[in-house]
């Protein structure tokens, strides 16, 4: 690639919440040119009418996804399609020569049988599972640099794993992840359960014992986890409260040390909150001991669309193209 040329990117599924957030981040990235934005049912719609925040920033109609042409014309394509739908497009994009960051779950689990059990779908691109790199920069930055296919982590797994990674290999007993998400985590498609009237002034658990992010968390942390997600009446953000026992003492210095070279994870003295990371790629976390010896309470906050999706994807782009990890991502949240 010419040293002065921009990285040519495409966003597939640009009408969704993750696609829209990718466009917002990418439009502020100095080394990127957005060459294609595709939609499915929203094809032909102006992106600035779907995302009024992009008016005058990113404009133009969503086009049909021709994966062969996209793969030939782009250096990197972000696929922000629902799980199950991404497998064939990702294979075509790679075959045509692009590198791919898949935002969904299709390439996150190494074992196709585990995918098929939890997602209830056959995996059509099993060969690519061995090649895909789980795109958590705090864990796999070296592999991400050279990857053709990056499986961007899920939003709950990001919040949960960043809380747990410093304890990996030292965990004992049951790990409990009690996580709460804003409604944008469910995507933009119409769903009665996500109506204002259902969500507002309401707070509920869902997917108890069955949520598909459970095997993703367990695969990385290599420990059984009881994971319970909740829906809270806010637009974005995840707060995960994690209860874990380990053999490590003095946890706060241990966490500080562990994340010292990871610019997007801030270990705080204070308790984290979702508002302080909204619209950013930062994770705020802290750790406290409990009255139970050895049992710690770790609390992490991310933006599900930021660190939980588009922010990490841009961080991965930076690694894949040899850029400073902070490029296009060094911004504070809007507060309050
Ligand atoms: N929301 C989050 O916080 C979050 C976080 C991390 C990862 N993710 C993952 O990121 C992906 C996108 O999530 P999202 O929240 O952006 O979902 P979304 O708002 O529902 O958007 C889905 C996108 O996929 C397109 N699409 C739907 N069905 C399609 C089909 N059959 N063929 C081609 N395109 C199709 C839609 O196009 P049209 O609108 O034009 O029909 C839309 O652009 C999912 O895999 C999700 O699990 C989401």
* pLDDT tens, residue by residue, 118-171: 999 999 999 999 999 999 999 999 999 999 999 999 999 999 999 999 999 999
Contact call for residues 140 and 134 (beta carbons, < 8 A)? yes
Question: Exposure string (b/e) for 39-70, b if CB count within 10 Å is 16 or more?
Answer: beebeeeebbebbeebeeebeeebbebebeeb
Q: What pTM did the predictor assign?
A: 0.97
pLDDT at res. 2: 59
Q: What percent of the chain has pLDDT over 70?
A: 99
pLDDT at res. 249: 86
pLDDT digits (tens, 9 = 90+) for 48-66: 999 999 999 999 999 999 9
Whether residue 155 lies in the annotated active site: yes
- 3-class SS string, 50-91: HCHHHCCCCCCECECCCHHHHHHHCCEEEECCCCCCCHHHHH
Count of beta carbons in the 10 Å neighbourhood of residue 36: 20
Give the separation between CA 79 and CA 65, rounded to whole angstroms. 11
Q: How confident is the model at residue 105 (pLDDT cuts 50, 70, 90)?
A: very high
Give the separation between CA 131 and CA 94, rounded to whole angstroms. 11
pLDDT digits (tens, 9 = 90+) for 72-94: 999 999 999 999 999 999 999 99
- Best of 80, 134, 156 to mutate for ligand 1, by most ligand atoms within 8 A of CB? 80
Angle between helices 311-320 and 137-146 (to 10 degrees): 40
pLDDT at res. 1: 54
Contact call for residues 86 and 150 (beta carbons, < 8 A)? no
- 106 Cα–ligand 1 center, Å: 13
pLDDT digits (tens, 9 = 90+) for 190-228: 999 999 999 999 999 999 999 999 999 999 999 999 999
Contact call for residues 68 and 92 (beta carbons, < 8 A)? yes
Say whether pLDDT at 4 is over 80.
no
pLDDT at res. 260: 98
Say whether pLDDT at 3 is over 70.
no
In the predicted model, what is the mean pLDDT of residues 22-30? 98
CB 19 near ligand 1, within 6 Å:
yes
Q: What angle do CA 130, 151, 183 make, to 5 degrees?
A: 145
- 161 Cα–ligand 1 center, Å: 23
Say whether pLDDT at 314 is over 60.
yes
Q: How confident is the model at residue 281 (pLDDT cuts 50, 70, 90)?
A: very high
> Rounded mean pLDDT of the chain?
97
pLDDT at res. 267: 98
- 187 Cα–ligand 1 center, Å: 6
Can you tell me which residue has the tokens 């001991």? 289
CB 313 near ligand 1, within 6 Å:
no
Q: Are strands 238-246 and 171-181 parallel, antiparallel or unpaired?
A: antiparallel
Q: Which of 74, 155, 273, 283 is catalytic?
A: 155
- Phi, psi angle pair for 210, to nearest 5°: -130, 0
């Amino acid at each position: 690639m010419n040293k002065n040329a921009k990285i040519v990117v495409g966003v597939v599924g640009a009408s969704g919440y993750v696609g829209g957030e990718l466009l917002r981040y990418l439009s502020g990235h100095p080394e990127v040119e957005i060459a294609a934005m595709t939609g499915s049912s929203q094809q032909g719609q102006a992106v600035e009418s779907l995302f009024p925040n992009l008016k005058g920033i990113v404009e133009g109609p969503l086009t049909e996804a021709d994966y062969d042409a996209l793969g030939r014309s782009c250096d990197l394509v972000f696929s922000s399609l629902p799980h199950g739908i991404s497998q064939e497009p990702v294979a075509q994009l790679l075959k045509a020569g692009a590198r791919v960051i898949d935002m969904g779950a299709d390439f996150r689990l190494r074992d196709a049988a585990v995918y098929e059990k939890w997602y209830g779908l056959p995996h059509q691109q099993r060969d690519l599972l061995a090649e895909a790199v789980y795109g958590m920069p705090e864990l796999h930055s070296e592999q991400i640099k050279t990857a053709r296919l990056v499986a961007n982590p899920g939003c709950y797994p990001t919040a949960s794993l960043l809380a747990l990674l410093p304890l990996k290999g030292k965990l004992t007993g049951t790990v409990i992840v009690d996580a709460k998400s804003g409604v944008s985590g469910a995507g933009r498609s119409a769903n009665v359960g996500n109506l204002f009237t259902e969500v507002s002034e309401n707070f509920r658990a869902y997917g108890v014992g069955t949520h598909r992010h459970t095997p993703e968390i367990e695969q990385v942390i290599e420990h059984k986890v009881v994971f319970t997600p909740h829906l809270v009446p806010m637009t974005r953000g995840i707060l995960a409260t994690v209860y874990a026992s380990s053999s490590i003492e003095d946890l706060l210095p241990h966490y500080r040390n562990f994340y010292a070279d990871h610019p997007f994870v801030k270990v705080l003295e204070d308790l984290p909150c979702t508002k302080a990371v909204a619209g950013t790629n930062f994770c705020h976390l802290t750790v406290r001991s409990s009255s139970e010896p050895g049992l710690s309470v770790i609390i992490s906050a991310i933006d599900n669309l930021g660190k939980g999706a588009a922010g990490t994807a841009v961080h991965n782009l930076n690694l894949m193209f040899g850029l400073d990890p902070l490029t296009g991502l060094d911004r504070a949240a809007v507060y309050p």
